[in-house]
Structure 1
Amino acid sequence: MTIIRAGHDRNELAGLLRRDPHLHAYELGDLDDFYWPYTTWYRLDDAVALLYHGGPTPVLLALHRSAEVVAELLTGLLPLLPRHFEAHLSPGGAEVLARQFPVRSRGPHLKMALTDPDRLVRVAPGGEVLTEADTAELTAFYRRSYPGIWFDPRMLRTGHYLGMRRDGGLVAAAGVHVWSPRYGVGALGNVTTAPEHRGQGLASTLVAALCRRLLAEVETVALNVHAENTAAYKLYDRLGFTPVAEYVEHVVGEPAS
């Protein structure tokens, strides 16, 4: 019988997640005080799953190098999961959730980690720091340039959102999904350029600057990217990022009517 138990000890959880920090960068970041109130943690022996409920839809992270462990972990979690959520799953996980929920794939994704930071010198950094005063402008920019993005305005408090302006308006932006000097991780996210300004290297400039800022405070810099997003992959590869794991994002269950 699979026995799942809740995780409440941050030091204990951090010790488990740090065994594979590149795979678990997001979970490590979510141990931070900034995110901790929005998290629920589960354990099966040394395997850890996180349900993050800080956004409009809960997000389940169930990642492990072993497909068998992922399957066993999710089997035990089935009675505990909400009716509707998103899920980031290592191979083998979707089949388990499909026993109880409708599951729709958003496609294969890669976890990448900054393993060769010396490559950052290939791109001159640039951009300006965005603050909470820029919330409305940045939200409108993402709505136009990156529809469907998940952007938490609280993240502007980290000081790790950068923007590029032309003629007084934002044309490119890059930020973080998680950032925690306490747990030594930063995960890039919400990187995009306005369609009419793409191909000019603006995103590369912002990402290079952002990585330099993060490396002054954390040891692990990571990100998630859709496996079919060739342009983004090439950008990150050029700046020293390496694929460290594959996973699939899913929409699970049915939203409340």
Structure 2
Amino acid sequence: MASSSATARTSMTPVNSIACANTAMLESNIREILYLDPIWSAYALADLAPQHTAFCQWFHSAEAVVLAYIGLSPPVLFATGKKEDVLALATQVPPGKYQYTLLPEHRFSLEPMLSVQSELKMWRMSNKVDSPEIDPSPDAHRLSGEDLDSVITLFADHADRPDSFHRRQLEAGPFYGAYHEEELVAVAGVHVLSESGSMAAIGNVFTHPAHRGQGFGRKVSAQLIRGLRSMGIQTIVLNVAKENYAAVHLYQGLGFQIHCGYYEGLGELGAKP
């Protein structure tokens, strides 16, 4: 009953694709809500780009947005805005297994319909344009599609490997890697990049366990940030587990600041039995 009354009150609007009638108005409404907190909504803002249209299912009210991004498997669930509206909007999202990124107020408001399988407490961090200049790292090199096999080999079956990598990310956005004795031992790239929005989300940062503590992670991350800055990207964000103190310290040393805490997990969305 609470969801039904909330739906009536806020006039929820499901948008399976913004490429439809009133596209400009729908996109403008969604964008306006996302820009209330652009650091938290960085991924969703980048997903407004035309190349992501086919992968996005948008649901919004006057004060909230929920996005189901089906370009990854499992798809990704994101929310921002008024928690009562987020709960009502979530009832319109197709049920199933999702990777979710949720602020605490949304995570717990969805408790009645989210069966959690695994979960981490995370930080969203951001790097401002006025951060100190980063020295170049000559050992880190720009990767291309020709390095795909090496990236896949690097990630292999390690328990802490990136879980949201897709080859199109390597082809679409800058990735930097460090080789040691002709073996790729560290990589840093982007999850999403919006040059028109001057925004990027760093992701797929990984160093082979045998080569950790030798500075490779910092070198590839630093070179990636330099590369993004040279492209004119103003806002750079990333995600890191709260308990990964070494990584948090590394990113703070590269000019990142903690923006907010959130939950990242895997769960089944739908009415609980």
Q: Displacement, 1:79? A: 4.2
Matched with 2:199 is 185
After the TM superposition, which residues 206-221 of structure 1 pair with which residues of structure 2 at under 5 Å, given as runs?
206-215=220-229, 216-221=231-236
Q: 1:191 to 1:148 in 2, by over 3 A?
A: closer
Q: In the alignment, what sits opposite 2:213?
A: 199
> Is it true that 1:109 corresponds to 2:122 in the alignment?
yes
| Post-superposition offset of 1:87 | 1.4
Name the counterpart of 1:222.
237
> SS of the counterpart of 1:223?
strand
Report the Cα distance in structure 1 between the residues aligned to 2:259 and 2:162, rounded to whole angstroms: 26
Contact 1:97 1:103 in 2 (8 A): no
> Which is further off, 240-249 or 55-64?
55-64
- Give the equivalent residue in structure 1 for 2:23: none
Contact 1:111-1:224 at 8 Å conserved across structures: yes
Determine which of 5, 14, 24 is the counterpart of 1:6.
Answer: 14
1:236 alignment partner in structure 2: 251
Q: Matches of 2:196 and 2:241 in 1, distance apart?
A: 28
**RMSD of Structure 2 on Structure 1 (CA):** 2.1
Q: Give 1:90-129 correspondences, 5 Å limit.
A: 90-115=103-128, 117-121=130-134, 123-126=135-138, 127-129=140-142
Per-residue CA deviation, residues 67-122 of structure 1 (Å, 9 max, x unaligned), is xx22431233224332221211111223333313422351211110003653343x
2:41 maps to which of 2, 24, 29: 24
Aligned partner of 1:34 in structure 2 is: 51
Structure 2 residue matching 1:200: 3-state secondary structure? coil
Contact 1:63–1:88 (8 Å) recurs in 2: no
Distance 2:88 2:264 in 1: 18
Distance 1:22 1:246 in 2: 12
1:77 paired with 2:94, answer: no
Q: % of aligned pairs identical?
A: 29
**Partners of 2:129 and 2:195 in 1: CA distance:** 20
Q: Could you list the per-position Cα deviations for residues 195-219 of structure 1 after superposition, in whole angstroms to 9, with x for gaps in the alignment?
A: 1111111111111111111123321
**Structure 1 stretch 9-18 or stretch 102-111: which is displaced more?**
9-18
**Paired residue type of 2:260:** A
Structure 1 residues 147 and 205, CA gap change in structure 2 (3 angstroms): closer
Q: TM-score w.r.t. structure 2 length?
A: 0.84
Residue 148 of structure 2 is aligned to residue 135 of structure 1: yes
Flag the 1:149–1:83 CA change in 2: closer, same or farther, 3 A. Answer: closer
Looking at structure 1, the residues matched to 131 and 111 of structure 2 have their Cα atoms a distance apart, in angstroms, of 43
2:260 alignment counterpart: 245
Deviates more, 1:185-194 or 1:210-219: 210-219
C-alpha separation between the residues in 2 aligned to 1:37 and 1:15?
21
Alpha carbons of structure 1 residues 159 and 250: separation in structure 2 relative to 1, 3 Å: closer
SS in 1 for 2:6: coil
Of residues 167, 178, 189, the one that matches 1:153 is 167
Aligned counterpart, 1:165: 179
Paired AA for residue 171 in structure 1? V
In the alignment, residue 2 of structure 1 is paired with which amino acid? A
Provide the rounded CA distance (Å) in 1 between the counterparts of 2:61 and 2:240.
28
Where 2:165 maps in the other structure, the secondary structure is coil
State the Cα distance separating 1:177 from its structure 2 match: 0.3
Once the two structures are TM-superposed, the CA of residue 241 in structure 1 deviates from its matched residue by 0.4
Q: After superposition, give the CA deviation of every residue in 1:17-73 in whole Å (9 maximum; x if it has no partner).
A: 223211111111111123222011111213211111101111110134xxxx22431
Tell me whether 88-97 or 177-186 shows the greater mean CA deviation: 88-97
Instruction: Kindly state the Cα deviation for residue 152 of structure 1 after the two structures are TM-superposed.
Output: 0.8
- Describe the SS at the equivalent of 1:118: coil
Alignment coverage as a number of residue pairs = 250
Corresponding residue of 2:60: 43
